[in-house]
């Protein structure tokens, strides 16, 4: 596709359940980022992939959060034992190389609501 | 810990007015980016400033990077209702593009 695509656009889940959020980056982009954004706040960095490997996962809040990018394209953010505090918009972005000053393009986000 | 402080947090103005949004930090950034975000959408890049003292113009928007590369401003001339949105600044420390984000300025331009 022409842009970064995230699915689902909305996800409501019960506390304690497992969820997967998917990101399809722009074709050919080697760098992929996951961010979390709460209402009225700026995005909060979660994890950065360069190719298939997680180059920086220091933003993942705890071990309930995990992300993969097995073939260097599509990425899945996985959240185990969801908590109400996990409710937020999860944004994915990709850039061509991830190098300094390369533009990152964002998807529209997945709004996760944990009830 | 690197932080970016944006001000004001909220701004409501009338069409045709001018405004300035500020982004300040005690840390030096290799570059700083400004984004605009509309409800239900991801942030969209407006500009990247790299050189201390740099000024970039995008139609009615003027972006400035401080000489010490610690702060930046966004000035909008003759604001229009279409400028309404959340304006975010993000600093790049050069560390694998782990952007440091401000909390945003929510701008409402009333017709």
- How far apart are the CA of A59 and the nearest CA of chain B, in angstroms? 9
Residue B51 domain boundaries:
5-110
The pLDDT confidence band at residue B40, using thresholds 50, 70 and 90, is confident
Give the closest residue to A44 by CA, choosing from A94, A7, A93.
Answer: A93
Domain residue spans of chain A? 5-114
> Which two structure tokens, joined as six digits, stand for B24?
């300040």
Strands B105-110 and B10-14: parallel
What's the per-residue H, E or C state across A55-95? Answer: EECCCCCCCCEEEECCCCCCEEEEECCCCHHHCEEEEEEEE
CATH (residue range A5-114): 2.60.40.10
Structural domains in chain B (count): 1
Share of chain B above pLDDT 70, in %: 94
Region class of A64: left (phi > 0), else alpha (psi between -120 and 50), else beta: alpha
Residues in chain B with CB shorter than 8 Å from the CB of A42 are 6, 88, 90, 101-104
Instruction: Please name every residue paired with A22 in a beta bridge, in sequence order, or none if there are none.
Output: A7, A76
Residues in chain B with CB shorter than 8 Å from the CB of A45 are 98-99, 101
Residues A25-52 pLDDT 10s:
999 999 999 999 998 788 999 999 999 9
Higher pLDDT, B44 or B99: B44
CATH number of the domain to which B34 belongs: 2.60.40.10
User: Over 60: is that where the pLDDT of A1 sits?
Assistant: no
What average pLDDT does this structure show over B78-88?
Answer: 96
């Amino acid at each position: 596709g022409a842009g970064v695509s995230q699915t689902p656009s909305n996800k409501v889940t019960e506390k304690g359940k497992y969820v997967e959020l998917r990101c399809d980056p722009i074709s050919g982009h080697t760098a992929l980022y996951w961010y979390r954004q709460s209402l009225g706040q700026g995005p909060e960095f979660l994890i950065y992939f360069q190719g298939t490997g997680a180059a920086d996962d220091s933003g993942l809040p705890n071990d309930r959060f995990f992300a993969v990018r097995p073939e260097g394209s599509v990425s899945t953010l996985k959240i185990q034992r969801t908590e109400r505090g996990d409710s937020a918009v999860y944004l994915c972005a990709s850039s061509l190389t991830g190098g300094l000053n390369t533009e990152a393009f964002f998807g529209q986000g997945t709004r996760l609501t944990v009830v | 810990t690197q932080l970016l402080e944006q001000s004001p947090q909220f701004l409501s103005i009338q069409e045709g007015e001018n405004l300035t949004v500020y982004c300040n930090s005690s840390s030096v950034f290799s570059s700083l980016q400004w984004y605009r975000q509309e409800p239900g959408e991801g942030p969209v890049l407006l500009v990247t400033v790299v050189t201390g003292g740099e000024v970039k113009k995008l139609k009615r928007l003027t972006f400035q990077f401080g000489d010490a590369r610690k702060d930046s401003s966004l000035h909008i001339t003759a604001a229009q209702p279409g400028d309404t949105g959340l304006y975010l600044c993000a600093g790049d420390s050069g560390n694998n593009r782990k952007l440091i984000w401000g909390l945003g300025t929510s701008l409402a331009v009333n017709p």
